[in-house]
Amino acid sequence: MRPTTGLRSGAGVARIPMTGINRVRKRLASGEVREYHFAWRGKGAPLFWRSDSGIGIGSAEYVAAWKAAIPAKPMAAQGKFRELILGYLGGPEFNGLAARTRADIEASIRHPKNGIDTEFGAAPIPAFNDPRIRREVLDWRDRIGGKVGDTRVDHLQAIVGWAHDRGRLTANHLLRIKAVYKANRAEIFWTSDEIAAFEAGAPHAVARILIAATETGLRPGDLLLLERAHIHPTPKGRRIVLWTRKRGRLVSIPVTDRMGALIDATPEGRERILVNQGGEPYRHENYLGDAVSAWRDRLKMRRELRLYDARGTAATRLLEAGADLREIATAMGWSVAHASQVIERYVALHPGMTDALGAKLAAVVARA
């Protein structure tokens, strides 16, 4: 049921539908459950209410905060770039994307401060046929900055490309814009000692998250939904087969002994492999990363470690098991080039790998 609230005016009480609100509950370290309300789902959605604010849900203050957080009422779309935005959102290219990707694009479009619609929605369509639009877009990206700025440009390029392909624009001046944000976390991985320390110090339900991540290399969004149905027998063991949420790629991951033990320890009748300490499925993938980060800090471990870094750790385990780059790329849902980059950095930085290579060289010298 859509929430509504009554606002009293001279004409009486008006019922205003409040749709699209994203309600998120989070359990704090103290055990207290706190609720947060965001104006919509997706990255960039503004927080407008929290349960410890003292403001009642549905009160005039609550509604005023919501109205201030949502974007201004859209202007007429006809003849404006907003018309192309709406056309793209209604087309098969957009609706064929993964749900997570669609949510990210919608957040880029709707952001009230520097979203695509806020910045360009009211511009006349012919403005995007003018070569000068490229400079305007680059200036907009630079004002936003960082990875967010690059992502907004990526999403704007998709809209402009769609419009150009359909003849709605006579030119595409946003081709080949290079990203300015560069971050490489390939050198960050969980060592065996760190994994063991985390497992020893964190609650069992939280330790299972890190174990599953480092043994499978699955992203949090895929770990969230991992079920018994994804586990299939093979002639010599078991494997995990699923379509990844982010890239929509089919991955086939061998079930290691350690992952097998985790699966076998899952109570009979429970479909989800990972659940919270109360035995309930996690409601959002972010909760998995938050739980790992919270206990990482409690255990005074390196702050740069994140759950996502377990993917690189899992890839290096495959390397140590003798898998080649193509096998690693297939299991991780990566390109061979990215798998090569991760492995190259691991070999350079991991002391155990360096020692192993040194031992091999020493053996060669001894035989000479």
User: Is pLDDT above 80 for 214?
Assistant: yes
Q: Could you tell me how far CA 251 lies from the centroid of its own chain?
A: 18
Confidence of residue 139 (pLDDT cuts 50, 70, 90): very high
- pTM of the entire predicted model: 0.51
User: Is pLDDT above 70 for 6?
Assistant: no
Confidence of residue 7 (pLDDT cuts 50, 70, 90): very low
Query: Strand (E) positions, the chain?
Result: 4-9, 12-17, 22-27, 33-38, 47-50, 231-234, 237-243, 250-254
**pLDDT score, position 194:** 92
Q: Which CATH architecture has domain 192-361?
A: Orthogonal Bundle (1.10)
User: Is pLDDT above 90 for 311?
Assistant: no
Instruction: List the one residue out of 314, 351, 309 whose CA is nearest residue 186.
Output: 309
SS3 132: coil
Instruction: List the one residue out of 260, 107, 84, 57 whose CA is nearest residue 160.
Output: 84
Give the alpha-carbon dihedral of 120, 123, 124, 127, to 10 degrees: -70
**pLDDT score, position 101:** 82
Q: What is the pLDDT of residues 77-96, one digit of tens each?
A: 789 999 999 889 888 888 88
Which residue did the predictor score with more confidence, 325 or 214?
214
Task: Report the percent of the chain where pLDDT is more than 70.
Answer: 82
**pLDDT score, position 74:** 46
SS3 28: coil
- Sequence-ordered list of residues with C-beta below 8 angstroms from that of 17, at least 6 positions apart, any chain: 2, 3, 4
Structural contact between residues 86 and 94, judged by C-beta atoms closer than 8 angstroms: no
Q: What is the pLDDT of residues 245-272, one digit of tens each?
A: 776 778 888 888 889 999 999 998 899 9
Average confidence score pLDDT of the chain: 81
Instruction: List the one residue out of 279, 259, 282 whose CA is nearest residue 270.
Output: 279
Lowest mean pLDDT among 290-299, 312-321, 356-365: 356-365
Structural contact between residues 212 and 218, judged by C-beta atoms closer than 8 angstroms: yes
Confidence of residue 11 (pLDDT cuts 50, 70, 90): very low
Q: For residue 246, with 0-12 CB atoms within 10 Å meaning exposed, 13-18 middle and 19 or more buried, which class applies? A: middle
Lowest mean pLDDT among 148-152, 250-254, 290-294, 310-314: 310-314
CA distance 363 to 62: 72
SS3 158: helix
Find the radius of gyration of the CA atoms of the chain: 25
Q: What is the pLDDT of residues 154-186, one digit of tens each?
A: 999 999 999 999 999 999 999 999 888 665 555
**pLDDT score, position 264:** 95
Structural contact between residues 247 and 335, judged by C-beta atoms closer than 8 angstroms: no
Task: Report the percent of the chain where pLDDT is more than 90.
Answer: 32
Which residue did the predictor score with more confidence, 333 or 359?
333
CA distance 63 to 21: 12
Averaged pLDDT for residues 98-120 = 85
User: Is pLDDT above 60 for 349?
Assistant: no
**pLDDT score, position 125:** 96
Confidence of residue 350 (pLDDT cuts 50, 70, 90): low
User: Is pLDDT above 90 for 189?
Assistant: no
Name the amino acid, one letter, at 10: G
